[in-house]
Amino acid sequence: MKKLLPVFILLITLCLSSCENLQNLIPLETTTGLSNEEIIRGLKEALKIGTDTSVSKLHRVDGYFSDQAVKILLPQEAQVITQHLSVLPGGQLLIDEVTKKINRAAEDAASEAKPIFVNAITSITITDGLTILNGSNNAATNYLRQKTYTSLQNAFQPKVSTSLNKKIIGNVSAESAYRELISKYNLAVTAANLTGKNYPKVQSNSLSEYATQRALDGLFLKVAEEEADIRKNASARVTDILKKVFGRKG
């Protein structure tokens, strides 16, 4: 009997190994009720709806400006302006006006993102739909950002630049208003420094790259919120494929 024990253990091990291999061969449909194709269609549908809704929200007046989560403030290097120019007569009003114009430019350019997103979502290849489906509430959005951010930035920035240079009031654009703000601040710094102060000047007066980055960051933030809503709330699953793919988790 003792001689048969090693053989018995070997047979059990082989049996367990075979069972594990068989488990790995079980089709995705029998473990999740969904095919990989259905999962990918559901993920792309969620992204299409999420980007479309987000673009619509941000493209309207005050879409960026009134939403503290995505509102575009002055660039970090220009924050020194708010510390010093705001104490001068009319300084805060000028800062507020330039900030509003930057956000108006982002709101105006947001509509350009829709066809870019649609093309990107249609063309991207999702290699592991199940992992994304079972991932975090913004897993699909993160995947989209990773795969498309550079191409979106390259396509989006000219639109933002055009919008920033668009005359909003009279001959004033967001870009020219920002340059004027920087120029006035630097002149004030020059005068103040003649009296022994040591205020730093702002070296860059271009908004295009900065505004593009912040606008896209805000857009992806909103897409992530829409994805999370679809994952959590049945009422947000407005198509059959969304109900089938995301409804399986309740």
List pLDDT tens digits, range 48-66: 999 999 999 999 999 999 9
Is 118 a residue whose pLDDT tops 80? yes
Q: 240, 216, 232: which is closest to 51 by C-alpha?
A: 216
Is 105 a residue whose pLDDT tops 70? yes
Residue 4 vs residue 199, higher pLDDT: 199
Share of residues in the chain with pLDDT > 90 (%): 32
Is 36 a residue whose pLDDT tops 80? yes
Q: 13, 17, 219, 228: which is closest to 106 by C-alpha?
A: 219
Residue 204 pLDDT: 66
Q: Decide: 92 and 164 in contact? Cβ < 8 Å.
A: no
Residue 62 pLDDT: 96
Q: Decide: 106 and 209 in contact? Cβ < 8 Å.
A: no
**Count of C-beta atoms within a 10 Å radius of residue 231:** 21
